[in-house]
Copies of this chain bind each other. A is one copy, B any other.
Amino acid sequence: MKSYIQEKVNAFKDQNENRARLLINCPDQPGIIAAVSEFLYEHNANIVESSQYSVDPEGGEFFIRIEFDCPELQEKSQQLEDDFQKIADTFKMDWKFMYVYNVKKMAVFVSKEPHCLLELLWEWQSGDLMADISMVISNHETSREMVESLGIPYYYIPANKDIRQQVEKKQIELLHEHDIDVIVLARYMQILTPNFVETFKDRIINIHHSFLPAFIGANPYERAYRRGVKLIGATSHYVTNDLDEGPIIEQDISRVDHRDNAEDMKKIGQSVERSVLARAVKWHLEDRIIVHGNKTIVF
């Protein structure tokens, strides 16, 4: 990674050496917030931001994200987690502490179209996307020059459906070797096997275009054009084994009109994809997302 980006990352780590986020998801019942906030108070943690949501106050599901500062956090984090286990057991919580100074390691997968990869790299260079982009994996050589010029390793791994298993084996080795936290499919046009998806559950983010109505199948932009749609959209979601059907993280649209031909619509669609994916990835990096069933809570 280029030195001016490395500097930004280091400054961020220093600023956040005592900051963590606690994410909880459990059956709703009275007393959860009291117990958790009492716990944090006793451990000298100061709550900076907290967001809570209950599906249905009576007998529903409870979600909370608390961001807090705690002196000497790096020394105390293990103790904190051990102590928390008791509360977690009482309320049957799914929970995790995320430490902000642990900047997440990210891998980007891309095929030929570079627009989404470019957006991520731009945001990253300008310091707006705080991650360690550890590698780019592609089944094409198209983006190598651009990626390597930023000091990021580029792995060219040809792929097609006949060699899917070998390809994924290589990819998973690389990802594990570099201890990757999150994978972004920035227009990676290969289907992933259930094994791959399971290995990185709730940690693979995808982007695809979306239309009203849906134009499933070939040439969606051509068909959207012929139908005269007025909106072009994009959806970013976590990958599950149902193709394009995982929990939605973010969506957006852009207006088009009769003057836009299929080619224009594609360009506009790519622009929406870029911004939707960038937002989804940022929220993931900031631990703002809780996956619950087939939906997301984005705090």
CB pair B57–A45 under 8 Å, yes or no, is no
**Shortest beta-carbon distance, A70 to chain B, in Å?**
10
Does A37 touch B at the CB level, under 8 Å? yes
What are the interface flags for A229-269 relative to B under an 8 Å C-beta threshold, 1 for contact and 0 otherwise? 11101010000000010011111110001110100000100
Assembled-state Cα–Cα distance A212/B122 (Å): 28
Does A54 touch B at the CB level, under 8 Å? yes
**Shortest beta-carbon distance, A54 to chain B, in Å?**
6
User: Which residues 201-243 in A have Cβ within 8 Å of B in the complex?
Assistant: 210-214, 225-231, 233, 235
Chain B residues lying within 8 Å of A122, measured Cβ to Cβ, are 118, 122
Q: Copy number in this complex? A: 4
What are the interface flags for A50-86 relative to B under an 8 Å C-beta threshold, 1 for contact and 0 otherwise? 1111110110000000000100000000000000000
- Of B53, B128, B227, the contact of A248 (CB 8 Å cutoff): B227
CB pair B49–A54 under 8 Å, yes or no, is yes
Chain B residues lying within 8 Å of A267, measured Cβ to Cβ, are 128
CB pair B295–A53 under 8 Å, yes or no, is no
Assembled-state Cα–Cα distance A50/B175 (Å): 39
- Of B41, B230, B252, the contact of A34 (CB 8 Å cutoff): B41
Closest to A229 in B: B248
CB pair A226–B41 under 8 Å, yes or no, is no
**Shortest beta-carbon distance, A249 to chain B, in Å?**
8
Residues in chain A within 8 A of chain B (CB atoms): 30-31, 33-34, 37-38, 40-41, 44-55, 57-58, 69, 115, 118, 122, 126, 128, 210-214, 225-231, 233, 235, 244, 247-253, 257-259, 261, 267, 293-298
List 6 interface pairs A-B (beta carbons < 8 Å), by A numbering.
Answer: A118-B126, A128-B267, A212-B212, A231-B252, A233-B253, A258-B296
The 8 closest A-B pairs by CB, nearest first: A228-B295, A34-B37, A210-B212, A33-B37, A34-B41, A230-B251, A34-B38, A31-B41
Question: Besides the contacts A30-B47, A49-B54, A230-B251, what 16 more A-B pairs have beta carbons closer than 8 Å?
Answer: A34-B37, A34-B41, A37-B37, A47-B54, A48-B57, A49-B259, A118-B122, A212-B214, A212-B251, A213-B214, A226-B294, A227-B248, A228-B296, A231-B233, A253-B253, A258-B296
